[in-house]
Amino acid sequence: MDFNPCMKHKVVRKMVREFAESELAPIVYDIDKDARFPWEVIEKMKPLNFFGLQIPKAYGGAEADSISYAITIEELSRVSAALGLCVTVHNSVGAYPIACFGTDLQKKRFLPSLAGGEHIGAFCLTEANAGSDAGGVETHAVKQGNNYIINGTKIFVTNGGVCGTALVFALTDSPDPRRAASVFIVENDTPGFSVGEIEDLCGMRANPVSSLFFEDCLVSKDHLLGSRGDGLKIGLAALDTGRIGIAAQALGIAQAAFEASVKYSKERQQFKKPISSFQTIQNYLADMTTEIDAARLLLYRACALKDTGRPFGPEAAKAKLYCSGLAKRVTDMAVQIHGGYGYSREYDVERYFRDAKVTEIYEGTSEVQRMVIARAVLSQPV
């Protein structure tokens, strides 16, 4: 087992870090405070193929391996978790399912605009009565000739306020509950598609999370992704990949909080010496760096399994569970190390603290990750 990153991964990390530091760092405080989506930075990300990470080269994408993908999300999230969120959701659950399950015509039509960032992708599963219970979806699609008419409301849609292409889960009649849902590719200029108000959230404030409304939304049967009734299969495949991205995002938040804590502990004087000289602070820093290393290894294992074509769902769940919990623990310690300053918006650790919590919720709550992991354990012969 080789624990040394290859030159390609070093180059990816260096490139993304330089971009994030030069383009995102100067505006990250303001876009968080104002809850503003930075279109000016998005334009600069397009030619770098950040929006085509999971898309084949034949359709204009980068076709990056999963570790390069995870590094990209980590480095973006280290500076702006909200932009890291935009990119990972776009790639992993917005574009990736089309690349995996789409017809040749669907790939040719939708993937180039997604790869180029002309359309930002969204994943529309959550509803008022359907979050962790994906089977509670109430949005429905009724076939009418060569079209489907979609009616329903999706809530807490990441990228919802700016999405150009949305994957929408809707019920299509089936006696088998496992085949009840289907997935439709819906573009934002489709009649009957509308965007609700942007949510005023605790963290990830620069990402325009919103509700999406579908009122007699007419889509061609050619926009059905996969086969009718494939919703569960497509959703599970997308979420496995999405969990790698959210794990990487959480890892980036933790890394940023750790680096800020090391720097502050060397500068902050108490009792006429830097607080880094105190054993308690050293213990915090030791725990932080150890947990970050452990999290990164869990994440990269899931990536390696995916890239070699082996099942990776339980490993992705473990990475997501551990990395999201790590982000919460590390940012909490970072605030503690900063003391009163850590609770002030003048310091970045306050934002890291707010951003970290939601990584335990979306793309499957920590409780759902434990269910996935436990089922994998219990399915093994004793």
The catalytic residues are 363
Distance between CA atoms of residues 171 and 57, nearest Å: 33
Distance between CA atoms of residues 201 and 238, nearest Å: 25
Give, in order, the Cα–Cα distances in Å from 2 to each of 5, 6, 301, 304, 306.
8, 9, 12, 12, 17
Distance between CA atoms of residues 97 and 121, nearest Å: 11
Token pair for residue 80? 């702006």
Question: Which of helix, strand or coil describes residue 311?
Answer: coil
Distance between CA atoms of residues 227 and 305, nearest Å: 27
Give, in order, the Cα–Cα distances in Å from 169 to each of 148, 150, 162, 367.
13, 10, 19, 22
DSSP string for residues in 78-106: HH-HHHHHHHHHIIIIIIHHHHHH--HHH
Beta bridge partners of 198: 210
Question: Which of helix, strand or coil describes residue 185?
Answer: strand
Contact call for residues 241 and 231 (beta carbons, < 8 A): no
Contact call for residues 87 and 95 (beta carbons, < 8 A): no
Give, in order, the Cα–Cα distances in Å from 34 to each of 226, 237, 286.
40, 35, 35
**CA angle, 26 as apex, 24 and 32 as ends, to 5°?**
70
Return contacts of 319-322, CB within 8 angstroms, 24+ apart.
319/243, 319/244, 319/247, 319/295, 320/243, 320/244, 320/246, 320/247, 320/250, 320/363, 320/364, 320/369, 321/366, 321/369, 321/370, 321/373, 322/247, 322/294, 322/295, 322/298
